[in-house]
Amino acid sequence: MKGESGRNLLEAALQMTSLQLSAKEEMVEKFLDAAARGDVSLVSSLLSHVPYLLNQTGNSGWTALMLAARNGHHHVVEKLLSLGCDQFSVNGSSQTAYDIAKFWGHRHIAGLLSRSGDACGRILQGADLSPQENYFGRETLDRLSAKRTDKVWLEAKLSAADTIFLLFSNLSPMVYTSQEDSRERPGDFQLCRFRYQDVKDLLQEPSTVTIFLGMEKLRSPSSSSSSQSIAEPPVWFAINTDRDAAELLKRCREKNCSFPRSPNRDLLKLSEDEAGIVAQARSVLAWHSRYSFCPTCGSSTRLEEGGYKRSCSNSECRSLQGVHNTCYPRVDPVVIMLVIHPDGNQCLLGRKKIFPPGMFSCLAGFVEPGETMEEAVRREVEEESGVKVGAVQYVSCQPWPMPSNLMIGCMAVATSTDIKVDENEIEEARWFPRQQVIDSLFRGDRSAFVVPPRQTIAHQLIRHWICMNSNL
């Protein structure tokens, strides 16, 4: 009898659990339905009694915020945001609520969901205010450009106890890794950080180039801290020396230190924060390595303004009159574009001989003097693939310190489809169906082709197209 009683209790407990789960599912369904219908009163009432509903998901990972955004219910979206819902969660199609609102043309909701804020949405009506941060683009330091001409301040910071120095050899930063494998993952490499005493001798050598990078951005102080007790954040410098690399490595206290030999690959192993710092430092140092002499008259040049200017030593040189691009670090603009087939369901990708096996990427090329971004896209696509392009739309950009490029990412619509590859530029170009791209991008299927690494803007452009055309 005891055994039968135990079984009855277990069955009753299971039945109770089932009822509880069913009640929870019904509550979630009721909440999501209210959001989809725009019933802000019911949404508010349900959340006041059952707060955990806020970020619950239904079919295909859709949240209440996504459903409200899909159907244009501004007041529901506003209410959910005020209660702290997760506006950056994604559904089964890798779409955020912002993506959904934008796709369905609800600009007022898209503006509300943008990190830039609703005020910017009202001012820049119709503008795409979606936050887009590409690898190498994160600004961890405040550049403090106004301080570059303050020689006294810079000299004081050079010898300050908390100042951080990054050491470069042949334009490669010294890094260390604690990882045993060689897989290319952001964060595998970390920058070696030095103090003044570690590099004092290098700073005194005439061949050493030292540039001011900026000051660490001040984090919001806690409420218990007084403003008077907050110390000024440390500043960062980068130095490039022609000293023997093996000798330089002995200075570091970390294990497994090295100077990456393959920047195009190895610098992609840095964290997002450190990648942005290296992009700034490497680009400026590369400029110094090429401009030791004045391109106008051939005289020697001297470093000024914390490393952001080189002035000719010849007082008669024309470069000292007015503003010239030979005096300041240059940035080379490059357009990189994902070309969409006229049917909207294919994209054009190409590959160079130097690419890893199976990898295809977006077409790219330098912007020529006196040329607009849009015309550069059209010219480069036709030169490399023979395909003609009509409409061009800017998406986002990415600093690319190889050595000092700015990749301007665009979408472009083809007006012709026949491919005729310029073999001096690329090895092959193909139209890839959308489903093949999805399989390669999200499912790791390498049977058709391999997408570029996620740190590249080419990867982000491909992802942007797939998400933009998802069936929402």
212-229 pLDDT, tens digit per residue, is 999 998 754 444 444 445
Which H/E stretch holds residue 31? helix 2-37
Calpha distance 311→300 (Å, rounded): 9
When the pLDDT of each residue in the chain is averaged and rounded to a whole number, the result is 87
Please state, for a pLDDT cut of 70, what percent of the chain lies above it: 86
Q: Do domains 15-123 and 141-217+233-290 have the same CATH topology?
A: no
Which H/E stretch holds residue 310? strand 309-312
Name the CATH topology of 15-123: 1.25.40
Give the model's pLDDT for residue 10: 56
Give the model's pLDDT for residue 22: 77
Identify the CA nearest to 451 among candidates 441, 463, 466, 438.
Answer: 441
The yes-or-no verdict on residue 151 having pLDDT over 50 is yes
The yes-or-no verdict on residue 340 having pLDDT over 50 is yes
The yes-or-no verdict on residue 466 having pLDDT over 80 is yes
181-197 pLDDT, tens digit per residue, is 445 455 589 999 999 99
Give the model's pLDDT for residue 128: 55
Give the model's pLDDT for residue 220: 47
Identify the CA nearest to 472 among candidates 59, 182, 185.
Answer: 59
The yes-or-no verdict on residue 410 having pLDDT over 90 is yes
Give the model's pLDDT for residue 2: 52
Pairing of strands 235-241, 172-173: unpaired
CATH class given for the domain over 141-217+233-290:
alpha beta
**Average confidence (pLDDT) over 201-212:** 95
Which pair of tokens denotes residue 72? 């244009």
377-389 pLDDT, tens digit per residue, is 999 999 999 999 9
Identify the CA nearest to 306 among candidates 237, 259, 378.
Answer: 237
Return the SS3 of 168. Answer: strand
In this structure, of 172-181, 316-325, 433-442, the range with the lowest mean pLDDT score is 172-181
Give the model's pLDDT for residue 322: 82
In this structure, of 163-177, 252-266, 342-356, the range with the lowest mean pLDDT score is 252-266
The yes-or-no verdict on residue 352 having pLDDT over 70 is yes
List the domain boundaries for the chain. 15-123, 141-217+233-290, 332-468
The yes-or-no verdict on residue 121 having pLDDT over 60 is no
7-33 pLDDT, tens digit per residue, is 665 565 555 555 566 778 888 999 999
CATH code of the region 332-468: 3.90.79.10
In this structure, of 126-135, 265-274, 288-297, 323-332, the range with the lowest mean pLDDT score is 126-135
Q: pLDDT band at 99, cuts 50/70/90?
A: confident
